[in-house]
């Protein structure tokens, strides 16, 4: 069951990490459980995953390094950093140089070379800063090296510089450890006011992103209030810390809280509870944090001495001393004061061994001086002054009193009468300011909203105007286009009409000639018949019946000629009318050969009418088996006329270039082939140049001099054949040899 649960937890962790990987652009997980990360890391398969998990783990675990609590934990972080460096050999790892410096720092820590560790840490931090990485826990870890190396002024300088840097450049998360580090400096200076103020600032920032340091700060604040003598405030923060620790469950902070609570209860002479808290701390510690353990033993001992349980007190003091000596812990630690010698002083005082008591208290003071803990120095100096006063040793009492005041002056402490950290007052102000700011913000937002609304209003208005204006122009353009379009249509109609008129013009001359001939016949035969009838009358009178019969036959034949030529003229006139009329679009059976023949003649005579010198050989080759096919006769006639006219035009042109030795020839042929009817109109003119070949069917394209052609002939022909009859109009040409147009009509 347990293993199943563990597996479930691991799966959940992997899932959440996997989700986190896709949910967040930045790879930070300050509130992750380090143990879960380690488990996931063991199962990581890809290098990328390993690098990511190692980075996260180092972010978290670096918090405790150098605290002296656990060298095992320190070496684990070093291992992680070194695996990351190893991985960087085959895979790119961001900030690898920073990690290398971090590795140097951690190695220096193992050798207890704190100054070297410090400089490597600082180098690592400045390298991380180049990529603006969030490294709050690394920044926090550096403070231990200042405690261990004892260069507290450097600590203030470092954290102040970094604070200013991060406040300007970010990331904001890095600001919190700087405040914490500065707070530690003021604690060392026994300036509780400034110390607690800075811790409060750090806590306020940590609260937003990293629970463990936040909790730690709450504990530290409570402890310092207690040390400062404001137990109420201390309890307030302890309550906060306890409430919050139920969520975070950080054993280290529990130790801090329980040890502090033990001290506070002792101060209130609530000894059983003080004892309980010290014991609770020890149970919870479970041999994990040795410094805390030593402190707990001291707390327990001090309480026992107050309870007059002196041998037990001594036992616990000795135990604490054993641990402290083995870990080289100083009298003052980040986890709180390690007041073993003060304990001995109290023990010896209780058993009235004043010499040993005085010696122990002096040792305690000297150790405090050595640890540069002003807080403890002040406490011990005051105690020494009181002690020697009671011993009636005025000289020593005065001496220590003087030292106490000197130190007080030197530290230039600003003792707040209420012992409430400046920050808390500031915080109230901040809160007030915040509410003012909120109000201001609301006003600003309202103003902005109004402004925005106005902007939107104006914007809308402008947009409306623009749209209206555009619409107006569009409308104008539309009207203009409509006008242009209608005038274009008019022009188009005129052009089509003029094309019709042009072909009509070509026709008229031909028609005139064509009508003239039959009319001449009609007139002539009619005249002859009049003569013949007169002759016949004479012959009847003469009784020459044979002659009468012959004349009658002639009259009859002539009458037939008259009718024939009358009909011929009639057909021509009808054709002419048909041509000028717009197409009826009605297909009817028509003889394509007759049509071709008729229009060939019309075209020929039309040209002759215009150009008297014109002449050309006309070859006709009609397939008599075609019969009638369904076409729109006037349309097809127009096409044939067009093609023949063009052919005549082409040969005339060439004849003008070559007056001698060139026989202009236009041939028209019809064929029935593959169920289709082909009408070919060929000439032996100059042919169509390749560059204009693909343009000849385009409307308004013409090679004729301006005014001579509308450029619509072939385009209209093309339309008539393809759209009107579903046929094809093809052209084949060889430059200098002529052109051949083929109309292919489906039957």
Partner 1 sequence: MKILVVDDERDIQTLFEQRFRKEIKDKTLEFAFAFSGEDALTYLNHPEHQTVLILSDINMPGMSGLELLRHIKQKYTAPPPLVMMITAYGDAENFNRAKELGADDFLTKPVDFNYLKEKFRQ
DSSP string over 203-242: HHHHHHH-HHHHHHHHHHHHHHHHHHT-HHHHHHHHHHHH
Q: Using the minimum distance from each CB to partner 1, give the nearer residue, 144 or 604.
A: 604
Contact between 119 and partner 1 per CB under 8 A: no
How many whole angstroms separate alpha carbon 273 and alpha carbon 80? 42
How many whole angstroms separate alpha carbon 53 and alpha carbon 40? 8
Q: Using the minimum distance from each CB to partner 1, give the nearer residue, 93 or 522.
A: 522
Q: Using the minimum distance from each CB to partner 1, give the nearer residue, 517 or 583.
A: 517
Site for partner 1 in 528-547 (CB under 8 A): 528, 532
Tell me how far, at minimum, the Cβ of 564 lies from partner 1, in Å. Answer: 8
Contact 364, 387 (CB under 8 A): no
Among 48, 554, 623, 719, binds partner 1 (CB under 8 A): 554
Contact between 723 and partner 1 per CB under 8 A: no
Interface region with partner 1, contact rule CB under 8 A, candidates 173-181, 305-313, 379-387, 606-614: 606-614
How would you label 378-413 residue by residue, b for 16+ Cβ within 10 Å and e otherwise?
bbbbebbbebbeeeeeeebbeebbebbeebbeebeb
- Of the candidates 174, 108, 166, the residue with the CA atom closest to the CA atom of residue 140: 174
Contact 180, 143 (CB under 8 A): yes
Interface region with partner 1, contact rule CB under 8 A, candidates 162-170, 585-593, 615-623, 732-740: 615-623
Tell me how far, at minimum, the Cβ of 586 lies from partner 1, in Å. Answer: 32
Contact 295, 336 (CB under 8 A): yes
Contact between 297 and partner 1 per CB under 8 A: no
Tell me how far, at minimum, the Cβ of 688 lies from partner 1, in Å. Answer: 25
Tell me how far, at minimum, the Cβ of 538 lies from partner 1, in Å. Answer: 13
**Backbone dihedral angles phi then psi of residue 629, each to the nearest 5 degrees:** -125, 155
Contact between 561 and partner 1 per CB under 8 A: yes
Angle at 72 (CA atoms; ends 69, 77), nearest 5 degrees? 100
Q: Using the minimum distance from each CB to partner 1, give the nearer residue, 83 or 615.
A: 615
Interface region with partner 1, contact rule CB under 8 A, candidates 148-156, 230-238, 605-613, 728-736: 605-613
Contact between 649 and partner 1 per CB under 8 A: no
Interface region with partner 1, contact rule CB under 8 A, candidates 27-35, 257-265, 464-472, 523-531: 523-531
Q: Using the minimum distance from each CB to partner 1, give the nearer residue, 453 or 553.
A: 553
How many whole angstroms separate alpha carbon 507 and alpha carbon 603? 6
Interface region with partner 1, contact rule CB under 8 A, candidates 32-40, 369-377, 521-529, 710-718: 521-529
Among 126, 435, 486, 523, binds partner 1 (CB under 8 A): 523
Contact between 552 and partner 1 per CB under 8 A: no
Among 353, 362, 372, 513, binds partner 1 (CB under 8 A): 513
How would you label 300-322 residue by residue, b for 16+ Cβ within 10 Å and e otherwise?
bbbbbbbbebbeebbebbebbbe
- Of the candidates 119, 181, 143, the residue with the CA atom closest to the CA atom of residue 67: 143
Tell me how far, at minimum, the Cβ of 648 lies from partner 1, in Å. Answer: 12
**Backbone dihedral angles phi then psi of residue 106, each to the nearest 5 degrees:** -65, -40
Tell me how far, at minimum, the Cβ of 676 lies from partner 1, in Å. Answer: 28
Tell me how far, at minimum, the Cβ of 520 lies from partner 1, in Å. Answer: 4
How many whole angstroms separate alpha carbon 453 and alpha carbon 443? 15
Contact between 610 and partner 1 per CB under 8 A: no
Q: Tell me which long-range contacts 31-34 makes (C-beta under 8 A, separation of at least 24).
A: 31/209, 31/210, 31/211, 31/212, 32/56, 32/60, 34/60, 34/61
Site for partner 1 in 617-636 (CB under 8 A): 617-618
Q: Token pair for residue 396?
A: 């020593």
How many whole angstroms separate alpha carbon 111 and alpha carbon 522? 140
Among 285, 385, 503, 558, binds partner 1 (CB under 8 A): 558
How many whole angstroms separate alpha carbon 236 and alpha carbon 206? 19
How many whole angstroms separate alpha carbon 411 and alpha carbon 186? 10
Among 604, 648, 649, 718, binds partner 1 (CB under 8 A): 604
- Of the candidates 557, 738, 563, 587, the residue with the CA atom closest to the CA atom of residue 665: 738
Among 557, 594, 658, 692, binds partner 1 (CB under 8 A): 557
Tell me how far, at minimum, the Cβ of 660 lies from partner 1, in Å. Answer: 13
Among 72, 246, 328, 612, binds partner 1 (CB under 8 A): 612
Q: Using the minimum distance from each CB to partner 1, give the nearer residue, 417 or 613.
A: 613
Contact 48, 17 (CB under 8 A): no
Among 524, 544, 583, 703, binds partner 1 (CB under 8 A): 524
Among 83, 151, 393, 615, binds partner 1 (CB under 8 A): 615
Q: Residue 253 class from Cβ within 10 Å (0-12 exposed, 13-18 middle, 19+ buried)?
A: buried
Size of the site for partner 1 (CB under 8 A): 28
Residues that bind partner 1 (CB under 8 A): 512-513, 516-517, 519-521, 523-525, 528, 532, 554, 557-558, 561, 564-565, 601, 604-605, 608-609, 612-613, 615, 617-618
């Amino acid at each position: 069951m347990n293993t199943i649960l563990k597996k479930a937890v691991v799966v959940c962790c992997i899932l959440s990490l996997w989700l986190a990987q896709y949910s967040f652009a930045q790879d930070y997980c300050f509130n992750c459980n380090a143990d879960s990360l380690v488990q996931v890391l063991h199962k990581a398969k890809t290098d990328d995953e390993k690098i990511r998990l190692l980075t996260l783990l180092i972010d978290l675990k670096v918090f405790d390094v150098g605290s002296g609590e656990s060298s095992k934990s320190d070496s684990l972080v070093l291992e992680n950093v070194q695996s990351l460096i190893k991985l960087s050999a085959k895979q790119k790892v961001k900030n690898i140089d920073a990690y290398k410096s971090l590795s140097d720092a951690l190695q220096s820590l193992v050798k207890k070379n704190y100054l070297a560790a410090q400089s490597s840490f600082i180098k690592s931090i400045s390298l991380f800063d180049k990529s603006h990485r969030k490294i709050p826990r690394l920044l926090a870890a550096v403070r231990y090296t200042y405690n261990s190396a004892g260069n507290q002024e450097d600590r203030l300088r470092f954290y102040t510089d970094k604070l200013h840097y991060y406040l300007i450049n970010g990331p904001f998360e890095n600001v919190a450890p700087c405040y914490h580090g500065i707070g530690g400096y003021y604690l060392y200076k026994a300036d509780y006011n400034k110390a607690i103020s800075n811790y409060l600032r750090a806590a306020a920032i940590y609260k937003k992103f990293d629970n463990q340091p936040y909790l730690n700060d709450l504990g530290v604040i409570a402890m310092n209030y207690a040390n400062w003598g404001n137990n109420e405030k201390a309890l307030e923060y302890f309550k906060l810390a306890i409430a919050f620790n139920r969520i975070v469950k950080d054993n280290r902070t529990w130790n801090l809280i329980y040890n502090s609570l033990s001290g506070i209860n002792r101060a209130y002479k609530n000894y059983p509870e003080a004892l309980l808290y010290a014991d609770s701390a020890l149970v919870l510690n479970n041999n994990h944090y040795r410094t805390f353990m030593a402190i707990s033993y001291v707390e327990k001992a001090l309480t026992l001495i107050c309870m007059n349980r002196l041998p037990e007190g001594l036992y616990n003091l000795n135990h604490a001393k054993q641990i402290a000596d083995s870990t080289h812990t100083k009298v003052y630690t980040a986890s709180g004061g390690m007041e073993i010698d003060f304990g001995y002083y109290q023990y010896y005082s209780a058993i009235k061994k004043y010499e040993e008591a005085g010696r122990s208290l002096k040792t305690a003071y000297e150790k405090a001086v050595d640890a540069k803990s002003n807080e403890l120095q002040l406490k011990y100096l005051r105690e020494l002054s009181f002690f020697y006063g009671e011993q009636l040793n005025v000289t020593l009492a005065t001496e220590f009193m003087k030292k106490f005041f000197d130190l007080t002056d030197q530290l230039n402490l600003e003792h707040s009468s209420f012992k409430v950290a400046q920050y808390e007052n500031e915080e109230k102000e901040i809160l007030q300011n915040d509410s003012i700011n909120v109000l201001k913000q609301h006003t600003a937002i309202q103003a902005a909203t109004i402004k925005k609304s106005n902007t939107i209003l104006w914007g809308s208005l402008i947009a409306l105007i623009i749209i209206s204006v555009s619409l107006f122009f569009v409308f104008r353009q539309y009207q203009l286009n409509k006008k242009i379009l209608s005038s274009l249509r008019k022009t188009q109609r005129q052009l089509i009409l003029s094309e019709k008129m042009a072909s009509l013009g070509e026709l008229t001359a031909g028609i005139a000639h064509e009508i003239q001939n039959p009319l001449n016949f009609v007139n002539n035969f009619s005249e002859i018949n009049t003569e013949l009838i007169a002759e016949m009358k004479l012959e009847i009178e003469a009784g020459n019946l044979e002659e009468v019969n012959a004349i009658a036959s002639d009259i009859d034949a002539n009458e037939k000629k008259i009718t024939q030529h009358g009909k011929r003229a009639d057909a021509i006139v009808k054709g002419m009318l048909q041509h000028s009329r717009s197409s009826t679009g009605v297909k009817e059976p028509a003889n394509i050969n007759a049509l071709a023949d008729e229009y060939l003649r019309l075209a020929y005579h039309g040209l002759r009418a215009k150009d008297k010198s014109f002449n050309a050989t006309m070859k006709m080759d009609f397939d008599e088996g075609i019969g009638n096919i369904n076409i729109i006769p006037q349309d097809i006639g127009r096409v044939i006329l067009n093609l023949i006219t063009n052919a005549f035009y082409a040969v005339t042109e060439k004849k003008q270039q070559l007056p001698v030795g060139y026989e202009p020839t236009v041939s028209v042929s019809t064929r029935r082939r593959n169920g289709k009817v082909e009408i070919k109109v060929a000439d032996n003119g100059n042919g169509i140049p390749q560059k204009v070949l693909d343009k000849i069917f385009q409307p308004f394209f013409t090679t004729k001099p301006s005014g001579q052609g509308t450029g619509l002939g072939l385009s209209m022909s093309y339309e008539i054949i393809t759209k009107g009859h579903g046929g094809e109009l093809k052209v084949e040409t060889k430059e200098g040899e002529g052109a051949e147009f083929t109309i292919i009509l489906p039957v």
